[in-house]
Chain A
Amino acid sequence: MYTKADLERIAAKRQAWESGTLAKMPPRQSTFSTVSGIPIKDIYTPEDVSGVDFLDDLGFPGEYPFTRGAYAPMNRGRPWTVRQVVGVGTARETNERHKFVMKEGQTGMSNDFDVPTCIGMDSDHPLAAGEVGRVGVAIDSLADMEALYDGISLEKANHSFTINHPTPAILGMFVALAEKQGAALEKISGTTQNDPLKECFAMKMFSFPPRASVKLMMDTWEFAAQHLPKWNITNLNGYPTRDSGGTAWHELGLTFASAIEYFDEADKRGLQIDAIAPQISIMWYVHIDFLEEIAKFRAVRRIWAKLLKERYGAKNPKSWKIRMHAQTGGGVYTYQQPENNIVRGTIGGMAAALGGVQSMAIACFDEALSIPSEKAHRLSIRTQQIIRHESGIADVVDPFAGSYFMEWLTNEIEERTWKVMEDVAGKGGMTRCVESGYVDRMLTQEAYKTSCAIESQEKIVVGVNAYVSEAAEEEPEVFRVSSETEQTQLASLRRLKKERSNPAVRKALDALRNAAEANDNVMPMCVAAAKVYATEGEILDALRSVYGEFKPADVV
């Protein structure tokens, strides 16, 4: 965009400015960097973006390489969806919460499950004691799924399930419910997270070893391709990778490296890339570095577009464009002075909106303490509404494009991301790198750098290692699930096990085990087992008896 002569003149002027005007006013510290650790200069000029070609590298929103947005009008057309996470206590309580947030103006809904459900254990498992219904809803069987969706039409609503290793069981229950409701499977839309590798190295709610987890995932992909055309079978999730200490490029690179593993396996099953890719969306973390996060979201779209078009030869333009959900980072929030988190959430929400996400959740300000109170929940929704209706951010597409710094930073994150992907590929691919603990060690080292920087006050966290309140802080009111929830859930599970046809359950589980041993697709048998009210733990146990359980490598 600039001629060689232009750049030379700019360089000469810049050098003079550095040794003259700037040198008179020393900086407050010797070096500056983004929160991920990219060194930053004083200013950026056309010299830093001399390689950027407007049409090839940026272009127009809704067109390859999608740097400026997945859709042409972006927030001027359909603004991002307010998608706060819901999930609390029993299915019945969550059902009430769903109806509450719908009334408050939320247009999409997510279900978070309690820890035992995420791991694939029933509420009556000895290790589940104290965890049932605490951080999300407990789903033991189809009976709980029925209570969760009571009064909500499956065909009309769009529901998302934050479930990973137990996806065959949970999706099996959902399909069984749809068939019972008489809903047409081809009309049902929704999402399962179903990104199993990151459970093994970041989220840590794993069940199966990495390789088996990908096999089961492919079973669900095949099943969805045949029966659930409107279902987004996998929502890749980079959030826990960032929350486990990774930088922006680890978040991106390891998520894309997982996608490569999944796509390569799907190819072996004969699934066409253009049938899969358009349904994939990605959830990201929003860290506190406003500008770096905007650059990150822009880089994501360009990398995805190149990956799909150039590496996988996808022909459908929908395969090239990635839709994104973003959630402001829990790790950015502090327990100290929790109201400060309202501000952190606002910064993150603005970055996500400017970065062009399709939906977002602003973590509730009491997230560092507990699952959200209703007040905190409402505040997060209102924050999004203020950004959308009052701030002006939603009225223009990709306003940071053309900023020397923003374009340079977008390039920088893209380059570092490709390097992570090459590194993983060189070490045998993502599954291998997860099995060996390589990825876990990589993230742990990054996290330790941050931990030491906070300890030494090189990195300031307001209210934690600086600007600490002198007066003893009042503990804010927190929302706690009553311990009755666990008892209620256990009682209904006991009743279920007595009232259902246990011979039918045993028969269904045997059939499931046989399918797994024969290396068949286990999904039809999971649906069948769900229909006769086999529990999640029973279904997963049948699968674990064939595939084993994951034991993470030692990393510290």
Chain B
Amino acid sequence: MDRKNPIRVLLAKPGLDGHDLGVKMVALTLKDAGMEVIYLGMRQTPDNIVRAAIQEDVDIIGLSNLSASLVPMGQAVMQRLQAEKIEIPVLYGGIILKPDREKLLAAGISETFGPGTMMADIIAAIERLVPADKRL
């Protein structure tokens, strides 16, 4: 990774889900891997998330949601991004079963991560989705 231009990651929990352990572990892991992490916190609306992504000029967005609103919230965030014509890759972590994964990928989510995901796989996906020359 280019140390001068660390990858900027926005992490957020859309909806009401309170299971924030996973996203905090991802935040700490990405920081230790040299990335800049902005964690918005929980109970975020899709609007909040997209606004923060613009203001913070991030390279990638990571969403976490372990509750039932997983799919509708993911779709809503993607719709807001597309309405703003913003092309930032979005990752989604949570209890994502196969049919949910298909719906999320169809909505434009770049990659999903289910329970028991190894952190190394998340880092690898970020490095693949954010090419070195695109990093600001």
Q: How many B residues touch A, CB cutoff 8 Å?
A: 35
Q: Which of A423-452 contact B (CB under 8 A)?
A: 444, 447-448, 451
Known A335-B114, A455-B120, A464-B116; judge A129-B72 contact (CB<8 A). yes
Residues of B within 8 A of A (CB): 15-21, 24-25, 27-29, 31, 37, 39, 41-43, 45, 67-73, 95, 97-98, 114-116, 118-120
A135 lies within 8 A of B68 (CB): yes
B15 lies within 8 A of A451 (CB): no
B67 lies within 8 A of A115 (CB): yes
B67 lies within 8 A of A131 (CB): yes
Known A451-B29, A478-B97; judge A444-B67 contact (CB<8 A). no
B118's contact among A127, A204, A455, by CB below 8 Å, is which? A455
Residues of A within 8 A of B (CB): 115-116, 119, 121, 127-131, 134-135, 203-205, 243-245, 334-336, 368-370, 444, 447-448, 451, 455, 461, 463-465, 475, 478, 481, 552, 554-556
Chain B binding surface, main DSSP class: loop
A556 lies within 8 A of B24 (CB): yes
Contact partners of A128 in chain B: CB under 8 A = 16
Task: Kindly list 13 other residue pairs between chains A and B, CB separation below 8 angstroms, not including A115-B16, A465-B118.
Answer: A119-B16, A127-B16, A130-B68, A130-B72, A134-B67, A135-B68, A203-B18, A244-B21, A335-B114, A369-B95, A444-B28, A463-B116, A556-B24
Known A127-B15, A130-B15, A447-B25; judge A554-B41 contact (CB<8 A). yes
Contact partners of B39 in chain A: CB under 8 A = 554, 556
B97 lies within 8 A of A369 (CB): yes
Complex Cα–Cα for A335 and B24 (A): 20
Contact partners of A245 in chain B: CB under 8 A = 21
A475's contact among B19, B67, B98, B119, by CB below 8 Å, is which? B98
Known A129-B69, A130-B73; judge A334-B115 contact (CB<8 A). yes
Known A335-B114, A368-B115, A556-B27; judge A127-B45 contact (CB<8 A). yes
Contact partners of B116 in chain A: CB under 8 A = 334-336, 461, 463-464
Most buried by A among B25, B27, B29: B25
Known A444-B24, A554-B41; judge A131-B118 contact (CB<8 A). no
